């Protein structure tokens, strides 16, 4: 039996946004190309970059050179549809050799798969000692909606997004897969907060709810493929795939319900009927909802010096829109401006490097690592 999360907060419906105007004063330069289906990237303390490949490969970018990195002991990879080897992060406390590397992936078979978190040690040449830290439950079938972004917080815990499991008629157990996002007894359709060992983080706000899984941080999410943290304030944002229309940017707070599928700005793929309603008491309204959908993947909070006018903005990669969208806020956190960096290729990830520069991965069989620089 599902356990539903409900509160009694009323929020105003927001105005959806279309394609923003073009940004000026920037250009994209290629750092390296030929990366096989890149999905996520993370920097080592020495400035080199680890890039995941969706089919289960890992690559080390050192200047203009790319080297394959063997990964020893990876669990059974389900590389189909949207699944595969996905995001990556390096433990922020590891500054020298033998860094702990965290990766998310879909594991299992076409009939029973799930998002898992693994951790290994990178010794400079290979990742070894890989162990599974966390496995989402329940298992699902098919190749849709794994979520799978991870980010470390200042307290050393990490957030991990889990997709809802798929579009109708996809089912998990006795319910539509998407209804798992309102089920406190399921990890699917949520953001989790975990320790560095993959255990439930202390103080998770939903842990005391009857029937709630202790890892849950927020629920009511469809498929989050971008999470960003302000390193100063600790505020967290997420970019979320809606259905047909209704992609969202949300300010994420622990214990909150973000509405899916009861509250949505999108429509069902097959019937084209609205999914849920735009305002449900107790559900958090997005900061921004895009119609049509850019299909957001990758998100960063920008603090670099190359573009002073962008500081304090979010930058969101777009798969369908083939762009990066900059979202600016006022002092109260309201969206006041958007603009589009037209990349012309599907953008899978956007990150700020330790050098303060903005980087992006293109989603192709032979993808590129781009650096965004002033024109």
CA-nearest of 323, 347, 315 to 39 is 347
The pair of structure tokens assigned to 346 is 């599907």
Question: How confident is the model at residue 96, as a pLDDT?
Answer: 84
The full set of domain ranges for the chain reads 26-374
39 contacts 84 by C-beta, under 8 angstroms: yes
N- to C-terminal Cα distance for the chain? 57
> Which residue ranges in the chain fall short of pLDDT 70?
1-11
Q: Pick the catalytic residue: 8, 91, 128, 145?
A: 145
Question: How confident is the model at residue 307, as a pLDDT?
Answer: 97
Q: DSSP class of residue 172?
A: E
Three-state DSSP state, 18: coil
The pair of structure tokens assigned to 105 is 């992936």
pLDDT in tens, 59-109: 999 999 999 999 999 999 999 999 999 999 999 999 888 999 999 999 999
Question: How confident is the model at residue 11, as a pLDDT?
Answer: 62
Phi-psi region of 84 (alpha: psi -120 to 50; beta: other; left: phi over 0): left
Specify whether 91 is catalytic. Answer: no
pLDDT in tens, 171-213: 999 999 999 999 999 999 999 999 999 999 999 999 999 999 9
57 contacts 68 by C-beta, under 8 angstroms: yes
Burial class (CB in 10 A: 0-12, 13-18, 19+), 314: buried
Q: DSSP class of residue 366?
A: T
Phi-psi region of 271 (alpha: psi -120 to 50; beta: other; left: phi over 0): alpha
Three-state DSSP state, 178: helix
191 DSSP β-pair partners: 161, 218
- The total of other beta-carbon atoms located within 10 Å of residue 322's CB is 18
What fold is seen in the domain 26-374? Neuraminidase (2.120.10)
Question: How confident is the model at residue 357, as a pLDDT?
Answer: 96
pTM: 0.95
Q: What is the dihedral of CA 315, 317, 322, 326, to 10 degrees?
A: -10
């Amino acid at each position: 039996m599902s356990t539903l999360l409900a509160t009694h907060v009323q929020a105003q419906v927001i105005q959806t946004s279309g394609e923003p105007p073009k940004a000026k004063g920037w250009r994209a330069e290629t750092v390296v190309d030929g990366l096989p289906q890149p999905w996520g990237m993370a920097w080592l303390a020495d400035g080199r970059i680890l890039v995941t490949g969706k089919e289960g490969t890992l690559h080390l970018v050192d200047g203009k050179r790319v080297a394959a990195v063997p990964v020893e002991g990876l669990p059974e990879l389900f590389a189909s549809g949207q699944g595969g080897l996905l995001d990556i992060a390096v433990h922020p406390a590891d500054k020298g050799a033998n860094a702990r590397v965290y990766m998310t992936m879909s594991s299992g078979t076409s009939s029973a798969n799930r998002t898992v978190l693994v951790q290994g040690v990178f010794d400079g040449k290979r990742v070894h000692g890989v162990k599974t830290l966390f496995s989402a439950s329940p298992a699902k079938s098919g190749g849709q909606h794994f979520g799978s972004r991870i980010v470390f917080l200042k307290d050393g815990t990490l957030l991990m997004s889990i997709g809802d499991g798929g579009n109708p008629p996809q089912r998990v157990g006795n319910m539509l897969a998407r209804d798992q996002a309102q089920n406190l007894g399921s990890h699917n359709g949520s953001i989790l907060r975990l320790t560095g060992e993959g255990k439930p983080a202390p103080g998770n706000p939903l842990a005391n709810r009857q029937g709630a899984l202790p890892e849950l941080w927020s629920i009511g999410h469809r498929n989050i493929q971008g999470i960003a943290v302000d390193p100063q304030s600790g505020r967290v944002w997420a970019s979320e795939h809606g259905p047909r229309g209704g992609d969202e940017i949300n300010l994420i707070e622990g214990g909150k319900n973000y509405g899916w599928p009861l509250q949505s700005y999108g429509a069902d793929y097959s019937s084209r009927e609205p999914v849920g309603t735009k305002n449900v008491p107790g559900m958090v309204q997005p900061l921004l909802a895009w119609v049509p959908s850019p299909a957001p993947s990758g998100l960063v909070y920008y603090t670099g010096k190359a573009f002073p006018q962008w500081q304090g903005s979010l930058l969101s990669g777009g798969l369908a829109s083939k762009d990066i969208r900059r979202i600016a806020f006022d002092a109260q956190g309201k969206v006041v401006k958007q603009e589009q960096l037209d990349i012309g290729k599907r953008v899978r990830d956007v990150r700020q490097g330790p050098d303060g520069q903005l980087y992006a991965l293109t989603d192709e069989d032979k993808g590129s690592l781009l650096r965004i620089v002033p024109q």
